[in-house]
Amino acid sequence: MTTQNEFSRCVAQYDPHALPVSAAQAITREWATPVAAVERVALRDALDRVLAADIVSPIDVPSHDNSAMDGYAFNRAALTSGAPSVELAVVGKALAGHPFAGRVEATAQCVRVMTGACIPDGCDTVVPQELVERSADSASIRFAADAVQAGANRRLAGEDLARGHAALRAGRVIRASDLGLLASLGIGEINVRRRLRVAFFSTGDELRSLGEPLEAGSVYDSNRYTLFAMLRRLNVDTLDLGVIRDEPAALEAALRSAAASADVVLTSGGVSVGEADVTRRLLQTFGDVAFWRLAMRPGRPLAFGRIWSGERPGVGLPALFFGLPGNPVAVMVTFYQIVREVLLLMSGATPQPLPVIHAASLRSIRKRPGRTEFQRGIAAQHANGQWQVTPTESQSSGVLSSMSEANCFIVLGHEDGDVAEGERVSIMLFHGLI
Ligand code: AMP
Ligand code: MG
């Protein structure tokens, strides 16, 4: 665990008022400690869980050499006679699950095989059925010697997964193909990390929960719903602590009880310039605060650190803390760009960088160097295969409909300036992410 001192040193290298996004990501990554506890789960319950240890293949898959085609298995020696065509006697048949028990004479015989059937002893090559001519009584076949190469159309034992080799690595988030792969190894249960527990709440006197009447000046709390959904996608356990009023005592009680029951605590609101001081003073009494501001838009106010359930740092149970901005779009952007990777790391996963592709911007975009921007965009692939993107009409961090309308983030790098119409920009598609 990084100490407060090391941490302060690392933050001090940057302007604390505007930490570059890459620096913030490096710091948050360093602070993420994976949950240690492991659970054993049945295969069907393993989807989206994080593998706790390498899976070493106990068997060869496939277990025997087998045919990749419907055809005839024979020995490659039959191809070497120099004659333009090969004629072989059909001495038996092998189906998937029904091997041929006999032996095959090297240059004169073959066995009818179906896809998946074991390659009979003495055979190593399969000629597909559509390339052969059968005798009227099907007792023999003839095919052109150059129709097939020695060793063709044979799947080798262990070619999919070799016994003793790591089939899946620890840290993998289990997906559909992995369930099938584990089943192909005969494995019905695996060890996964326990799910990460993430508590979250909203702050703001103006917020109303669903079902409550909306008086003048109040708004429904939407952040708890986007947060819930984003967290669900990461398959973490969620703990919704509701809306907390803008009162230091209520905030302190909520944060400390959240730290007692969760690995990570996310809040939204209360970190913008007007409200930050109260929250900051409060957090400093029972937590280590790392940074408050990012050179990022949206998402400039973003607090990160560690809080404790006790009355001062080091007392009670710890939790990582993200104080997200209140604006609904900023919540989503900071979640995907900063929080998501930390949650994956803490879940024990080995996160892959989010894929970025290039697209031509169909509009000019204003951008000030010195901060990273994540604009909302609508991307489509042109008939010529090139991606094109248009920023959504509104880029306000309060306009959540811009997120629903968009299908990607347009990522404008820290040093980048204005983008001209037609210029290439980086985009991050929402597909599979949101
Ligand atoms: P704050 O960061 O607390 O100053 O909030 C910034 C803006 O986001 C204000 O307009 C808030 O009303 C709005 N806001 C804060 N929290 C939420 C929430 N949970 N749901 C919807 N809007 C919110
Ligand atoms: Mg507020």
Q: Which ligand is nearest to the CA of 396?
A: 1
Residue located nearest, by CA, to atom 5 of ligand 1: 326
**Domain boundaries defined on the chain:** 4-37+194-346, 38-61+159-193, 66-155, 357-429
CA distance 333 to 329: 6
For 73-109, how does the pLDDT look when each residue is reduced to its tens digit (9 = 90+)?
999 999 998 899 999 999 999 999 999 999 998 889 9
The domain 66-155 is placed in CATH, from the list 3.20.20.70, 2.170.190.11, 1.20.140.10, 3.40.50.300, at: 2.170.190.11
How far is the centre of ligand 1, averaged over its atoms, from the C-alpha of 328 (Å)?
Answer: 7
**Average pLDDT, rounded, for the chain:** 94
Mean pLDDT of 415-424: 97
Q: Does residue 2 carry a pLDDT above 70?
A: no
Residue located nearest, by CA, to atom 6 of ligand 1: 326
At residue 356 the predicted structure's pLDDT band, cuts being 50, 70 and 90, is very high
Residue located nearest, by CA, to atom 20 of ligand 1: 221
Handedness of CA 371, 374, 376, 380 (dihedral sign): positive
At residue 3 the predicted structure's pLDDT band, cuts being 50, 70 and 90, is very low
Q: Which ligand is nearest to the CA of 205?
A: 2
Question: At 291, which amino acid appears?
Answer: F
Cβ distance 72 to 79 under 8 Å?
Answer: no
What is the secondary structure of 102-162 as a DSSP string?
Answer: S---TTTEEEEE-TTPBPPTT--EEEEGGG-EE-TTSSEEEEEGGGS-TTTTEEPTTSSB-
How far is the centre of ligand 1, averaged over its atoms, from the C-alpha of 224 (Å)?
Answer: 11
Cβ distance 403 to 332 under 8 Å?
Answer: yes
What is the per-residue pLDDT for 17?
A: 63
Torsion, Cα 408 412 414 420, to 10 degrees, reads 180
Q: Does residue 282 carry a pLDDT above 90?
A: no
Residue located nearest, by CA, to atom 18 of ligand 1: 221
What is the per-residue pLDDT for 276?
A: 77
Residue located nearest, by CA, to atom 14 of ligand 1: 326
R_g of the chain, CA atoms, integer Å: 30
Return the ligand 1 atom nearest residue 246 CA.
3
Q: Which is more confident, 272 or 49?
A: 49
> In angstroms, what CA-CA distances link 342 with 230, 243, 347, 404?
13, 24, 8, 24
Contacts of 46 (CB under 8 A, 6+ apart): 174, 178, 179, 182, 190, 192
> For residue 85, what are its two tokens?
């065509």
Q: Which is more confident, 124 or 292?
A: 124
Place of tokens 């917020």: 207
Note the CATH number of domain 4-37+194-346.
3.40.980.10
To test the ligand 1 pocket, which listed residue (327, 329, 333) has its Cβ within 8 A of the most ligand atoms? 327
Domain made up of 357-429: CATH architecture? Beta Barrel (2.40)
326 lines ligand 1 (CB under 6 A): yes
CA distance 221 to 244: 11
For 167-208, how does the pLDDT look when each residue is reduced to its tens digit (9 = 90+)?
999 999 999 999 999 999 999 999 999 999 999 999 999 999
For 52-66, how does the pLDDT look when each residue is reduced to its tens digit (9 = 90+)?
999 999 999 999 999
246 lines ligand 1 (CB under 6 A): no
Q: Which residues surround ligand 2, an ion (CB under 5 A)?
A: 204, 269, 326
Q: For 155-214, give the secondary structure using H, E and C.
A: ECCCCCECCCCEEECCCCECCHHHHHHHHHCCCCEEEEECCCEEEEEEECCCEECCCCCC
Mean pLDDT of 101-121: 95
Q: Does residue 1 carry a pLDDT above 80?
A: no
How far is the centre of ligand 2, averaged over its atoms, from the C-alpha of 137 (Å)?
Answer: 86
201 lines ligand 1 (CB under 6 A): no
Q: Does residue 222 carry a pLDDT above 50?
A: yes
What is the per-residue pLDDT for 18?
A: 81
Under DSSP, the state recorded for 17 is T
Domain made up of 38-61+159-193: CATH architecture? Alpha-Beta Complex (3.90)
What is the per-residue pLDDT for 326?
A: 95
Q: Does residue 374 carry a pLDDT above 60?
A: yes
